[in-house]
């Protein structure tokens, strides 16, 4: 068990009013007492004010607040001390150095949460949610992470696990009484229970593509002919003048990627070089880059302007649409210049003006619906899976459930068929983190910040 005392700054370095330092592990109260005067381990979870000194030199470092959390009622499950010092570049570093001199080891990334998992304070899904909550850049990411942290996904998986165990129990009954004609358990009962479990696994698995996209941000590539108004739209969606806009066709020669929050969802917006046959070497490379981005896109915004509009067979657009696999939202740009009266556009098309802002809100809603339609339909209550690790485990569970049904149809004996159910339960256990091998933990915590 990892119980040696560790210390880390839990807040980011830089100018701030306060900084928070965490200490966890065996003997941290005695250790903190070497640096803090007065020191009070009791009453537990009660803040006290103390002088923080370097234990060797005795030099005063700061006037701090501290609080003791005796295990197991702490974040890590171990004895834990939180110390608030003044913020800034120097004080927190000097305070951590004093605690290291007092006997603590600087923590590795994610080590506090790792201990929390190992001590049963949270499961692996909750640990991942902790990281997601910290990394959240869009409101929907925050809500989803909080839901997972509060065991939304864990609870669902445990219920599912229970259902598969019930099914296993039915089969066990059959194993015990094999000689009876149709078996003591009605085949419909088994089939019904199997169907329910399979539906649930498949339902969760179906959330994986958008769930993973929710963590990464949907890659939304803005494409179209030169001068179609792509860079202007890119800037309007970002709300800042990020890309250069001019009336000269071929201004954008490189792809520009920027994170954006659209209708509460995370996107990675990409402005690209306009698609045309160019002899310019740099522009040609830019167009090649555009095509590569288009190949990876989750969603494409295809911009068309004025004269091109209405031309039902624009060869650039047709060639383009034929090569893109991602969903395409066709946008008519510069509607403020549109002199024609009456609606001329197809309903599938959104008309916008980067100058007046007309149509932007509608476009944003469309983008969110195209990239995250399933999540929007699910609402915030239904859990979703957000990592390749989750998807792999659910795929395994699904394959085992199907293996079970196939074995039954083939008349394989009940005991052999039941091994598939056992394997499905194991896949769910791995997902929740019931017994988690070190290498899995290493991978999960690799992306954590120090102090968490
Ligand atoms: N009136 C008007 N002009 C626009 C609008 N969007 C872009 N433009 C102009 O169209 C030209 C090309 O725009 P730009 O965004 O650079 O197009 P890109 O080549 O597709 O990136 C520039 O002169 C812009 O000022 C718009 O919504 N309304
Ligand atoms: Mg441009």
Backbone φ and ψ for 162, nearest 5 degrees, come out as -60, -40
Tell me the residue range of the domain where 35 lies: 6-123
Same domain, 393 and 369: no
The alpha helices in 252-387, defined as continuous H runs, are 281-296, 315-323, 360-378
Ligand 1 atom at minimal distance to the Cα of residue 250: 19
What does the pLDDT look like over 365-400, one tens digit per residue? 999 999 999 999 988 788 999 999 999 999 999 999
Distance (Å, whole) CA 264 – CA 261: 6
Confidence of residue 308 (pLDDT cuts 50, 70, 90): very low
**What is residue 94's three-state secondary structure?**
helix
Q: Which ligand is nearest to the CA of 233?
A: 1
Last residue of a domain, one of 343, 362, 378: 378
Distance (Å, whole) CA 77 – CA 408: 45
Ligand 1 atom at minimal distance to the Cα of residue 333: 27
Q: Cβ(337) to ligand 1 under 6 A?
A: yes
Q: What average pLDDT does the segment 337-350 reach?
A: 65
Task: Please compute, for residue 31, the number of CA atoms within 13 A of its CA located in the half-sphere on the CB side.
Answer: 27
Same domain, 29 and 108: yes
Ligand 1 atom at minimal distance to the Cα of residue 227: 19
Tell me the CA–centroid distance for residue 297 and ligand 2, in Å: 18
Residue 119 is predicted with a pLDDT of 93
Same domain, 314 and 296: yes
Same domain, 200 and 314: no
CATH code of the domain containing 355: 3.40.50.300
Residue 202 is predicted with a pLDDT of 96
Same domain, 280 and 240: yes
Same domain, 160 and 294: no
Angle at which helices 139-149 and 124-135 cross, to 10°? 160
Same domain, 421 and 389: yes
What is the separation, in whole angstroms, between the first and last Cα of the chain? 18
Residue 440 in domain: no
Distance (Å, whole) CA 330 – CA 121: 49
Residue 341 in domain: yes
Q: Cβ(351) to ligand 1 under 6 A?
A: no
pTM, two decimal places: 0.85
For atom 12 of ligand 1, the residue with the nearest CA is 227
The alpha helices in 69-184, defined as continuous H runs, are 91-101, 111-118, 124-135, 139-149, 152-176
Same domain, 118 and 152: no
Mutate to test the pocket of ligand 1, among 227, 229, 335 (most ligand atoms within 8 A of CB): 229
Same domain, 279 and 331: yes
Residue 112 in domain: yes
Residue with tokens 């031309």: 311
Same domain, 58 and 76: yes
Residue 105 in domain: yes
Last residue of a domain, one of 378, 396, 413: 378
Residue 160 in domain: yes
Q: Cβ(331) to ligand 1 under 6 A?
A: no
Angle at which helices 111-118 and 438-445 cross, to 10°? 140
Same domain, 268 and 359: yes
Q: Cβ(386) to ligand 1 under 6 A?
A: no
Angle at which helices 124-135 and 111-118 cross, to 10°? 150
Least reliable range by pLDDT among 263-277, 281-295, 325-339, 375-389: 281-295
Tell me the CA–centroid distance for residue 226 and ligand 1, in Å: 10
What does the pLDDT look like over 95-112, one tens digit per residue? 999 999 999 999 998 999
CATH code of the domain containing 146: 1.20.120.430
For atom 8 of ligand 1, the residue with the nearest CA is 229
Residue 27 in domain: yes
Residue 311 has pLDDT above 60, yes or no: no
Positive or negative, the CA dihedral 112, 113, 119, 121 is positive
Same domain, 229 and 345: yes
Residue 133 in domain: no
DSSP H or E run through 219: strand 218-224
What does the pLDDT look like over 7-22, one tens digit per residue? 999 999 889 999 999 9
CATH code of the domain containing 36: 3.30.1360.120
Ligand 1 atom at minimal distance to the Cα of residue 352: 27
Q: Cβ(290) to ligand 1 under 6 A?
A: no
Long-range contacts of range 231-240, CB-CB < 8 Å, 24 or more positions apart? 231/271, 232/333, 232/354, 232/355, 233/301, 233/303, 233/331, 233/333, 233/352, 233/354, 234/258, 234/269, 234/271, 235/354, 236/352, 236/354, 236/357, 236/360, 237/262, 237/269, 237/360, 237/363, 237/364, 238/269
Read off the DSSP letter of residue 109: T
Residue 446 in domain: no
Q: Which residue has the higher pLDDT, 180 or 280?
A: 280
For atom 5 of ligand 1, the residue with the nearest CA is 334
Q: What's the domain count of the chain?
A: 3
């Amino acid at each position: 068990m990892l119980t040696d005392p560790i210390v880390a700054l839990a807040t980011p370095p830089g100018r701030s009013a306060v900084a928070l330092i965490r200490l966890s592990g065996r003997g941290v109260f005695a250790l903190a007492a070497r640096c803090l005067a007065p020191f009070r381990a009791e009453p537990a979870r009660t803040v006290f004010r103390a002088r923080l000194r370097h234990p060797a030199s005795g030099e005063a470092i700061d006037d701090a607040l501290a609080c003791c959390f005796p295990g197991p009622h702490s974040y890590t499950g171990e004895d834990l001390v939180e110390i608030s010092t003044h913020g800034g570049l120097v004080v927190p570093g000097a305070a951590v150095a004093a605690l290291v001199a007092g006997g603590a080891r600087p923590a590795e990334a994610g080590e506090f949460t790792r201990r929390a998992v190992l001590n049963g304070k949270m499961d692996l899904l909750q640990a991942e949610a902790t990281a997601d909550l910290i990394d959240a850049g869009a409101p929907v990411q925050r809500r989803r992470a909080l839901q997972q942290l509060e065991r939304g996904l864990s609870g669902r998986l445990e219920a599912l696990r229970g259902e598969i165990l019930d099914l296993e129990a039915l089969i066990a009954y059959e194993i015990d009484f094999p000689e009876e004609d149709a078996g003591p358990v009605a085949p419909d009962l088994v089939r019904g229970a199997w169907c329910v479990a399979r539906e649930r696994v498949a339902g969760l698995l179906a959330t994986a593509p958008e769930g993973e996209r929710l963590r990464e941000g949907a890659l939304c590539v803005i494409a179209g002919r030169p001068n179609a108004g792509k860079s202007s739209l890119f800037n309007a969606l970002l709300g800042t003048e990020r890309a250069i806009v001019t009336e000269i066709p071929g201004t954008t020669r490189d792809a520009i990627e920027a994170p954006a929050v659209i209708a509460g969802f995370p996107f990675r917006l990409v402005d690209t070089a306009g698609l045309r046959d160019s002899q310019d070497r740099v522009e040609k490379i830019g167009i090649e880059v555009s095509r590569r981005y288009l190949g990876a896109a989750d969603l494409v915004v295809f911009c068309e302007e004025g004269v091109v509009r209405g031309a039902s067979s624009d060869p650039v657009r047709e060639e383009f649409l034929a090569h893109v696999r991602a969903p395409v939202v066709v946008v008519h740009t510069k509607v403020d210049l549109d002199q024609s009266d009456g609606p001329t556009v197809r309903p599938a098309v959104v008309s916008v003006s980067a100058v007046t802002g007309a149509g932007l809100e509608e476009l944003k809603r469309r983008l969110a619906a195209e990239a995250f339609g399933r999540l929007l339909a699910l609402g915030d209550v239904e859990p979703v899976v957000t990592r390749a690790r989750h998807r792999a485990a659910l795929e395994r569970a699904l394959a085992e459930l199907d293996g079970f049904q196939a074995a039954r149809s083939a008349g394989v004996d009940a005991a052999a068929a039941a091994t598939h159910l056992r394997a499905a339960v194991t896949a769910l256990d791995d997902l929740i983190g019931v017994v988690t091998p070190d290498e899995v933990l290493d991978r999960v915590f690799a992306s954590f910040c120090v102090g968490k």
